[in-house]
Structure 1
Amino acid sequence: MTSRVNWQAALDAAQKITQRWNQPGEPGGAITLFDSSTLRGEACGGLANLTTGEQFSIDSVVRYASVTKHIFAALALLRSHAGLSTDDPLGQHLPQLKGPMAKVTLGQALDMTGGLPDVRETLSLLGISVYNVTEADALIDFLATDGSLNFAAGTEISYSNTGYRLVETILKQKGILFEDLLQRHIAQPLDIAFHAPESWFDIVPNLVPGYWKSATGWKTAAAGLHLSASGSLTGSLRSLSSWLQSLLKDSGPGAGVLKHLSQPRFLKDGTPTAYGLGIAHSKIGGHQLVGHGGSHAGYKTYFLLHPELQMGAALVSNREDTASFTALLEVMSALLETPLPARSTSLKDGLYASKAEPYWLSVNNGVASYLGASENLYQAEDGSSVSLSAHLPMRLEMNGDAIEGEIGLARRFFAPIEANDCLNMIQGRWFHPESKAAFDIEGDELKMGIGPLRASGKLVPVGEGRLLVKMPDGPWEKSFCLYFQGYDVHLISNRSRVLIFRRDECRISWEPTA
Structure 2
Amino acid sequence: MTFKDPPHSLDWQAALSAAKRITAAWDHPGEPGGAITLFDSQSIQGEACGGLANLTTGERFTIDNVVRYASVTKHIFAALALLRSGANLSLNDTLGQYLPMLKPPMSQVTLGRALDMTGGLPDVRETLSLLGISVYNVSEPAAIIEFLAQDGSLNFPAGTEISYSNTGYRLVETILQQQGILFADLLQRHIAEPLDIAFQAPESWFDVVPNLVPGYWQAQDGWKTACAGLHLSASGSLTGSLRSLSLWLQSLLANSGPGAGVLQQLSQPRSLQNGTATAYGLGITHSTLGQHQLLGHGGSHAGYKTYFLLHPELKVGVALVSNREDTASYTSLLTVMSALLATSLPARSTALTDGLYASTAEPYWLSINQGVATYLGASENLYQAEDGSAISLSAHLPMRLRMNGQAIEGEIGLAERYFTPVKANNCLAMIQGRWLHPESKAAFDIEGDKLLMGVGTQRASGTLTSLGQGHLLVKMPDGPWEKSFCLYFQGYNVRLISNRSRVLNFRREECRISW
The TM-score by the shorter chain falls in which range? over 0.9
Aligned mate of 2:28, from 18, 23, 28: 23
Once residues 431 and 501 of structure 2 are traced to their aligned partners in structure 1, the CA distance between those partners, rounded to angstroms, is 22
Three-state SS of the structure 1 residue aligned to 2:18 is helix
Letter in 2 for 1:430: W
**Counterpart of 1:15 in structure 2: which amino acid?**
K
Partner residue in 2 for 1:338? 343
2:452 corresponds in structure 1 to: 447
Amino acid in the other structure paired with 1:87: N
The answer to whether residue 295 in structure 2 is matched with residue 290 in structure 1 is: yes
| Matching residue within 83, 103, 106 for 1:101 | 106
**Alignment match, 2:334:** 329
Match of 1:217 among 213, 222, 230: 222
Alignment check: 8 A CA contact 1:3 1:309 kept: no
1:352, 1:362 within 8 Å by CA — same for their partners in 2?
yes
Q: Which residue does 2:367 correspond to in 1?
A: 362
1:484 equivalent to 2:489? Answer: yes
User: Which AA in structure 2 matches 1:332?
Assistant: M
- The secondary structure found in structure 1 opposite 2:113 is helix
* Structure 1 counterpart of 2:172: 167
The residue correspondences of 1:407-426 to structure 2 (distance < 5 A) are 407-426=412-431
Corresponding residue of 1:512: none
Instruction: Look up the equivalent residue of 1:382 and give its one-letter code.
Output: D
Measure, in 1, the Cα distance between the counterparts of 2:105 and 2:262. 30
AA at the equivalent of 1:245: Q
Q: Distance in 2 between matches of 1:193 and 1:160?
A: 27
Give the secondary-structure state (helix, strand or coil) at the position aligned to 2:232.
coil
**Distance between the aligned counterparts of 1:277 and 1:457, measured in 2?**
36
Aligned length: 505
Q: Which residue among 306, 311, 326 is the counterpart of 1:306?
A: 311
Q: Is the 8 A contact 2:41 2:315 kept in 1?
A: yes
- Report deviation, 1:356: 1.1
Matches within 5 A, 1:7-22: 7-22=12-27
**Where does residue 384 of structure 1 map in the other structure?**
389
Distance 1:456 1:204 in 2: 35
Task: Tell me, yes or no, if structure 1 residue 183 matches structure 2 residue 188.
Answer: yes
Decide which of 471, 492, 506 is 1:501's aligned counterpart: 506
Query: Which residue in the other structure is 1:245 paired with?
Result: 250
Residues 273-297 of structure 1: per-residue CA shift (max 9 Å, x gap): 0000000001100000000000000
One-letter identity of the residue aligned with 2:214: P
- Paired with 2:141 and 2:165, the residues of 1 have a C-alpha distance of 17
Q: Per-residue CA shift, 1:425-458, capped at 9, x if unaligned? A: 1110000000000000011110001111111111
1:113 pairs with one of 112, 118, 127: 118
Deviation (angstroms), 1:504: 4.6
2:492 and 2:509 in contact (8 A); partners too: no
Deviation sequence 1:451-473 (CA, Å, 0-9, x none): 11111111101111000010000
**Cα RMSD, aligned residues only:** 0.8
Q: Is the 8 A contact 2:403 2:409 kept in 1?
A: yes
Q: Distance in 1 between matches of 2:238 and 2:244?
A: 12
Partner SS for 2:482: strand
2:469 to 464, 468, 474: 464
- Whole-Å Cα distance in 2 between the matches of residues 253 and 73 of structure 1? 13
Alignment of 1:419-438 (within 5 A): 419-438=424-443
- State the alpha-carbon separation in 2 of the partners of residues 130 and 461 from structure 1: 26
Quote the Cα distance in structure 1 between the aligned partners of 2:62 and 2:287: 27
Q: Which amino acid aligns with 2:244?
A: S
1:240 corresponds to which letter in structure 2? L
**CA distance in 1 between partners of 2:90 and 2:116 (Å):** 13
Contact 2:466–2:472, Cα closer than 8 Å, also in 1: yes
Identify which of 270, 278, 287 aligns with 2:275: 270
For the residue of structure 2 that corresponds to 1:392, the secondary structure is coil
Which residue is 2:240 aligned to?
235
Give the superposition deviation at 1:60.
Answer: 0.3
- Residue 408 of structure 2 corresponds to 403
Verify the 8 A CA contact 2:242 2:320 in the aligned structure 1: yes
**Contact between 2:26 and 2:32, CA under 8 Å: does it hold in 1?**
yes
Q: Secondary structure at the match of 1:164?
A: helix
In structure 1, the residue corresponding to 2:118 is in which secondary structure?
coil
Residue 279 of structure 1 aligns with which residue? 284
Whether 1:195 aligns to 2:200 is: yes
- 2:294 is paired with a residue whose SS is strand
Structure-1 separation of matches of 2:447 and 2:322: 41
Unmatched 5+ residue regions in structure 1? 507-514
Partner Cα separation in structure 1 for residue 248 and residue 321 of structure 2: 14
1:40 aligns with 2:31: no
Residue 323 of structure 2: aligned partner: 318
1:212-263 C-alpha deviation (Å, 9 max, x unpaired)? 0000000000000000000000000000000000000001000000000000
Per-residue CA deviations over 1:275-330 (Å, capped at 9, x if unaligned) read: 00000001100000000000000000000000000000000000000000000000
Cross-structure match for 1:473:
478
Partner Cα distance (1:452, 1:63) in 2: 29
Counterpart pick for 1:153 among 153, 158, 164: 158
Q: Please say if residues 255 and 262 of structure 2, whose CA atoms lie closer than 8 Å, have aligned partners that are also in contact.
A: yes
Q: Deviations over 1:468-506 (max 9, x none)?
A: 010000000100000000000000000000000001529
Distance in 1 (CA, whole Å) between partners of 2:346 and 2:446 is 44
* Residue 67 (structure 1) aligns with: 72
Query: Conserved in 1, the CA contact under 8 Å of 2:11 and 2:341?
Result: yes
Letter in 2 for 1:51: T
CA distance in 2, matches of 1:249, 1:194: 20
- In the alignment, residue 85 of structure 1 is paired with which amino acid? S
What secondary structure does 1:99 align onto? coil
TM-score, structure 1 length as denominator?
0.98
Distance 2:104 2:292 in 1: 42
Q: Secondary structure of the equivalent of 1:313?
A: strand
CA contact (8 A) 2:226 2:303 kept: yes
Q: CA deviation at 1:3?
A: 6.8
Runs of at least 4 residues off by over 6 Å: none
Deviates more, 1:451-460 or 1:278-287: 451-460
Which amino acid in the other structure matches residue 249 of structure 1?
A
TM-score by length of 2: 0.98
